[in-house]
Amino acid sequence: TLRARSNSLTSLVSGCGTLGRGLDVPRPQRVQQECQDKLPRTAESMDQILQDMEAACRQVELAQGSTVKLVNPELNLLVSLELARELMQGLLRELDPGRKRLEAVFGGDCSRIARVRAIIDGVTLSSLHKG
């Protein structure tokens, strides 16, 4: 089921270069911009990313202690975090008087941004992915 969830994320941004391949080489700015343009900047997209992120986080917790089993869950988590970052940066860069779309996605009770922060603060990555 985790693989199916990862596929739902990648379907949001198909064709975005090396997204989620675990390469240490930064993507060119042009490719990052293409990803931001393809990712729907909606509350529903962020909710899907959060669901996938939380599932990947649970898998990372279950795989602790096994270097081999930890690689894929960590990559799935990092892809989810990257997509969340791209969505947030896209919302911040878009011309939106009063930032109404930003408020629609992250405003109100701020639960979405709080969930992202809780995942970042709560996960322990292997030395392969720390940094």
Global pTM reads: 0.73
- pLDDT of 23 reads 40
The residues of the chain scoring below 50 in pLDDT are 1-3, 5-6, 10, 14-15, 17-28, 30-31
Q: Are 58 and 48 in contact (CB under 8 A)?
A: no
CA–CA gap between residue 48 and residue 5 (Å, rounded): 9
Q: How is residue 2 annotated by DSSP?
A: H
